[in-house]
């Protein structure tokens, strides 16, 4: 038997995002967000659902915190619904919205759970989208002002602040393929958005630091390892290109201070104009970087291998390949001078059922997590500085364009009754946290 023991202060947690769990979409003065608008537009969401009610977390956060305590999580990663606090995106503050997050943070602190806050997990106020959204540079300044409002109010209790969750998904899914809100399909807009997200990140970091120098500032990137299908030089080169095109587009400006050559190749004439001073702003020193990891791409010179023989796939159609996490962590660790790393999302969607005993037996999710925890431990032994791990997700929730059809939770949510049931994976995770080790 091998035992993998984690450092005593390792930050075990779970993650959620405002639009995916809160519901109460138009309550207490909340403004409309681009995800409200998108999900209310027929044909956009697979099961025609919306986040109007979702997990009703807005009303049930106390119950959810009690569940977090039962699992023994040390940290809880959540995001702020910008339009709940600033219904028009800027200007007048909606105190009821701000109070909600204040109460949430108070309850977390009272339960000794570290709040890990994300400012932007995709739900831009619709009012700002109406003025051009992230294509419009003014939105970057609105984001900085919103950041200031939040850190003034919560900075005394929240240490970890993330500016953006997954700029690449905002860029590509929101503005190139249009599968996500705001549903734009325009390469020129997409690359302009990508750059403005970076500028807004920089302004956000400045706002955090100038308002409260005590807080830790970071960003969350989603990184899919790109593995070559064979050892042929052609496949190796193809994998390198695939990695460069997607992942370095954000890693390089943040951690090297310039866009990679691959970005210019990829964007071509759509490469956005970079103003004087932008790159210095974007490349400010961070206190941590969050990495979301789900799977990898297996790349050959002829394109991606869609189905890898012998591999397991999740309900998302993503290959289960935990060793790719270790390889990816080692790769970024050698390619960049990184601050401490938190795995800010990792998890899997499977078709869970409630058994006759009332429990949810989800051995595949449990095994997925176990394998990824082990690979993270191995990467740490290789010398990668990983400080914590947030499982995606605390609860089953609204999985964007897929609606409620994909369940990622450690806790099952019955959407008819809002009843919560901790799954076997959640019970197992509780034991991992309690003993701070894994064995196999
Ligand atoms: C990530 C998102 C998160 C969730 C998972 C499955 O890209 O950050 O909100 O949807 O994927």
In this prediction, what percent of the chain has a pLDDT beyond 90? 99
Residue 76, beta-bridge partner list: 14, 115
Residue 37, beta-bridge partner list: none
CA distance linking residue 318 with residue 265, whole number of Å:
27
**Cα 381 to ligand 1 centroid, rounded to whole Å:** 28
pLDDT at 274: 94
Q: Which of 22, 114, 345, 399 is catalytic?
A: 345
CA distance linking residue 56 with residue 78, whole number of Å:
14
**Cα 165 to ligand 1 centroid, rounded to whole Å:** 9
Res 337 pLDDT > 90: yes
Q: Which residue has its alpha carbon closest to ligand 1 atom 9?
A: 17
**Cα 66 to ligand 1 centroid, rounded to whole Å:** 24
Query: Cβ neighbours of residue 435 under 8 Å, at least 6 residues apart?
Result: none
1 by Cβ neighbours in 10 Å (0-12 / 13-18 / 19+) ranks as: exposed
Q: List strands edge to edge, sheet with 225-228.
A: 225-228, 296-300, 303-304
Q: Which residue has its alpha carbon closest to ligand 1 atom 10?
A: 399
Band of the pLDDT at 298, cuts 50, 70, 90?
very high
pLDDT at 245: 87
**Cα 275 to ligand 1 centroid, rounded to whole Å:** 31
Q: Which of 174, 369, 399 for a ligand 1 pocket mutation test, highest count of atoms within 8 Å of Cβ?
A: 399
Q: Which residue has its alpha carbon closest to ligand 1 atom 4?
A: 399
> Which CATH class, in words, describes the domain spanning 3-439?
alpha beta
Mean per-residue pLDDT over the chain, rounded: 98
**What is the separation, in whole angstroms, between the first and last Cα of the chain?**
6
Mean pLDDT of 295-304: 96
Checking DSSP bridges between strand 411-414 and strand 419-422, what pairing results, if any? antiparallel
Band of the pLDDT at 140, cuts 50, 70, 90?
very high
The per-residue pLDDT for range 392-431, each reduced to its tens digit, is 999 999 999 999 999 999 999 999 999 999 999 999 999 9
The per-residue pLDDT for range 2-26, each reduced to its tens digit, is 999 999 999 999 999 999 999 999 9
pLDDT at 267: 94
The torsion angles phi and psi of 313, rounded to 5 degrees, stand at -125, 145
pTM summary value: 0.98
DSSP-assigned letters across all residues of 183-198: ----HHHHHHHHHHHH
- Ligand 1 atom with minimal separation from the 222 CA: 7
- Ligand 1 atom with minimal separation from the 166 CA: 8
pLDDT at 315: 98
The per-residue pLDDT for range 112-136, each reduced to its tens digit, is 999 999 999 999 999 999 999 999 9
Question: By the 8 A CB rule, do 168 and 249 touch?
Answer: yes
Q: Which residue has the tokens 């001073």?
A: 277
Band of the pLDDT at 213, cuts 50, 70, 90?
very high
Annotation marks residue 166 as catalytic: yes
Ligand 1 shell residues, CB under 6 Å: 17, 20, 165-166, 169, 222, 292, 345, 392, 399-400, 408
Res 273 pLDDT > 90: no
Q: Which of 400, 407, 409 for a ligand 1 pocket mutation test, highest count of atoms within 8 Å of Cβ?
A: 400
Query: Cβ neighbours of residue 310 under 8 Å, at least 6 residues apart?
Result: none
List C-alpha distances in Å: 98 to 30, 84, 105, 152: 10, 7, 11, 11
For 124-154, b/e burial (b = at least 16 CB within 10 A) is bbbbbbeeebbbbeebbebbbebbbbbbebb
**Cα 315 to ligand 1 centroid, rounded to whole Å:** 14
Mean pLDDT of 35-58: 98
In this prediction, what percent of the chain has a pLDDT beyond 70? 100
Q: Which of 22, 166, 247, 319 is catalytic?
A: 166
**Cα 261 to ligand 1 centroid, rounded to whole Å:** 28
Q: Which residue has its alpha carbon closest to ligand 1 atom 5?
A: 392
């Amino acid at each position: 038997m091998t035992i993998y023991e984690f450092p005593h202060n390792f930050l075990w947690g779970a993650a959620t995002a405002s639009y995916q769990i809160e519901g109460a979409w138009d309550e207490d003065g909340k403004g409309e967000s681009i995800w409200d608008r998108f999900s209310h537009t027929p044909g956009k969401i697979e099961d025609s659902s919306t986040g109007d009610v979702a997990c009703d977390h807005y009303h049930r956060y106390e119950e959810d915190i009690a569940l977090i305590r039962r699992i023994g999580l040390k940290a809880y990663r959540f995001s702020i619904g910008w339009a709940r606090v600033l219904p028009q995106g800027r200007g007048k503050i909606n105190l009821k919205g701000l109070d909600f997050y204040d109460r949430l943070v108070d309850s977390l602190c009272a339960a000794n759970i570290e709040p890990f806050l994300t400012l932007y997990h995709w739900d831009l106020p619709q009012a700002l989208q109406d003025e051009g959204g992230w294509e419009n540079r003014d939105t970057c300044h609105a984001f900085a002002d919103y950041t200031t409002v939040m850190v003034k109010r919560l900075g005394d209790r929240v240490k970890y602040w993330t500016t953006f969750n997954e700029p690449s998904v905002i860029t590509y899914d929101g503005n190139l393929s249009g599968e996500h809100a705001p549903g734009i399909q325009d390469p020129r807009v997409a690359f302009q958005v990508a750059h403005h997200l970076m500028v807004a990140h920089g302004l956000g970091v400045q706002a955090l630091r100038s308002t409260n120098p005590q807080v830790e500032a970071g960003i969350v990137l989603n990184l899919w390892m790109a593995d070559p299908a064979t050892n042929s030089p052609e496949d190796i080169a193809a994998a390198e290109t695939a990695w460069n095109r997607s992942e370095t587009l954000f890693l390089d400006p943040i951690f090297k201070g310039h866009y990679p050559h691959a970005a210019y190749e990829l964007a071509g004439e759509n490469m956005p104009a970079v103003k004087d001073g932008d790159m210095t702003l974007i490349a400010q020193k961070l206190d941590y970087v969050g990495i979301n990891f789900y799977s990898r791409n297996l790349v050959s010179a002829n394109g991606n291998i869609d189905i890898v023989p012998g591999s397991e796939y999740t309900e998302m159609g993503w290959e289960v390949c935990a060793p790719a996490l270790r390889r990816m962590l080692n790769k970024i660790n050698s390619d960049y001078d990184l601050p401490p790393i938190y795995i800010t999302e990792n998890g899997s969607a499977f078709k869970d059922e409630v058994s006759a005993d009332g429990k949810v037996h989800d051995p595949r999710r449990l095994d997925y997590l176990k394998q990824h925890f082990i690979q993270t431990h191995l990467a740490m032994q290789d010398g990668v500085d990983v400080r914590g791990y947030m499982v995606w997700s605390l609860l089953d929730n609204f999985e964007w364009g897929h609606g409620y059809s994909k369940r990622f939770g450690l806790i099952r949510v019955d959407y008819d009754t809002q009843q919560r049931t901790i799954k076997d994976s959640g019970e197992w995770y509780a034991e991992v946290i309690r003993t701070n080790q894994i064995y196999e």
